[in-house]
Structure 1
């Protein structure tokens, strides 16, 4: 008796599902979503196991995610295509409310398409947006992630923190890309020497130091500008390191200006300063200056 009752219950459920197309379509949609997630997870685990190159792994992981997302959307379209009238009515009733309530959500999706097509930045590049500075480590449908670095004054070193930023920020705030188009940046080091120092000798020695550390970037940068000039109007008449002279209240300021890679700013700054300190230590005619006050009695 119980067996017959169980069969009747199952038959009623199946009849209801077949009679109600919307319910069955929803169940199929959820089922395909679960299958898609499981397949993507399995593929990602296999990629992580067999691919040692982290950059290549993340690139392939993104492609798998996008490919299966497109496949799932196609499946949804096929499932719901016969219910077009129902969908149109439902969307018509809720579109205004959804547009207001999920404004940022839709803005993030639109910004994701903008990032994918226009490429204001890519994974691995260093950017600055809305006071957040770091290397792009991930780009998702609703947000992208930065490995945060400190500001220029403290060397742009990694803090170890990950910053998640909504995609629509690319429409709201200026995006500074350190390497797009031209992968080098200009860095400056200011050396202040006393008025009594031989500033001409100091300038000559500092020029030798900065050339030693940065001159090799010049040829590479010149070649890159030639290829980049087809897309961007980048004009640099002089790419070689240079030392500028200025007079300050406490002494003569010599500014070393040179090209370097964005992620090597701290290293080149350290190496040049070490050579400058050795120069000052070995050269009596050159002395570093500092703020002083003179009282005449």
Structure 2
């Protein structure tokens, strides 16, 4: 027997001994005021019920304590410690609830009337506490199925709520609010656990801790497009290369081979598209959600620095809103020509 179990047994034995001593002292105190024979005659009708209650409590206590180690040995391999604690707690509460029903049945004697009373009371409680019950059920789902866990970044679309999961309790989930520019605001958002049943939840890091982000850079149509792509690719790889390699390894382990080619890349992905007054070059990279502001800032800063190096200056220019006036000789009047030739 383990030391902890021995200590627990000693504590329980000590508690029972103290209880017997207390009952004995109470009997000694009462013997001067109440006739023992009269006392026994008064409590004789309820002695069987008291005995059945004590026996029921004792049997269920022994049964629960003896079956929990067996249950743990059988299923703990399939659950982490938090999940096992929840299962153990629910198993214990369920058995004590059965013991409570048995005791009430023994006390009242009429099971049918007791069942009706319990049903009516249960229905009233369920109606009054439906949101609380739903939140508790949501907590159980969160612990077992893990739609999100502490540290995940989640987004509730219908409520426009974005945040990092800070804590999960029986009734609520606490989020650290994140603005839409991926900056933590420092505010806490309190969500009922019933949200998992009522709202679609987007988990940024459900299977892979890194997420894809797209960083657009607009260059002018006169820029050297190939040079601009190379600069942006090299900068993105230098800043986010290690995180992309880590994410690629995780994806290869957790996803089928059919999706590896598209998602399990160790290099930034460059995409080009035309805009109204610029060419947009997008660098798609993977990084931890909490590092998005720092990584995007580093990439933009280094790209700007590379564009302005002497060997690249004039070849690649960042596009910005402006107006350019183009004059054609065949449509200009003599007066306009003289004005611009001055």
* Change in 2 beyond 3 A, CA 1:102/1:191: same
Please say if 1:290 is aligned against 2:328.
Answer: no
User: CA offset at residue 70 of structure 1?
Assistant: 6.5
TM-score, normalised relative to structure 2: 0.62
Contact 1:209 1:275 in 2 (8 A): yes
Q: Number of residue pairs matched?
A: 251
1:237 equivalent among 245, 254, 262: 262
* Change in 2 beyond 3 A, CA 1:234/1:296: closer
Contact 2:82 2:143 in 1 (8 A): no
Please say if 1:139 is aligned against 2:168.
Answer: yes
Distance 1:170 1:87 in 2: 35
Gaps of 5+ in 1: 9-14, 26-58
User: CA offset at residue 106 of structure 1?
Assistant: 2.0
User: What secondary structure, in the 3-state scheme, does the structure 2 residue paired with 1:278 have?
Assistant: helix
2:190 equivalent among 146, 164, 183: 164
User: What secondary structure, in the 3-state scheme, does the structure 1 residue paired with 2:218 have?
Assistant: strand
Distance 2:192 2:131 in 1: 9
Distance 2:203 2:84 in 1: 24
* Change in 2 beyond 3 A, CA 1:184/1:143: same
Distance 2:85 2:248 in 1: 38
Distance 1:95 1:161 in 2: 38
Distance 1:251 1:189 in 2: 15
User: CA offset at residue 237 of structure 1?
Assistant: 2.4
TM-score, normalised relative to structure 1: 0.70
Please say if 1:81 is aligned against 2:102.
Answer: yes
Contact 1:143 1:166 in 2 (8 A): yes
Alignment RMSD: 3.6
Please say if 1:118 is aligned against 2:145.
Answer: yes
Please say if 1:150 is aligned against 2:179.
Answer: yes
Gaps of 5+ in 2: 1-29, 35-41, 54-79, 106-110, 328-342
Contact 1:250 1:292 in 2 (8 A): no
The 5 Å alignment of 1:1-297 reads 78-79=99-100, 81-84=102-105, 85=111, 88-129=115-156, 130-151=159-180, 154=181, 156-229=182-255, 235-237=260-262, 239=265, 240-282=267-309, 283-284=312-313, 285-295=315-325
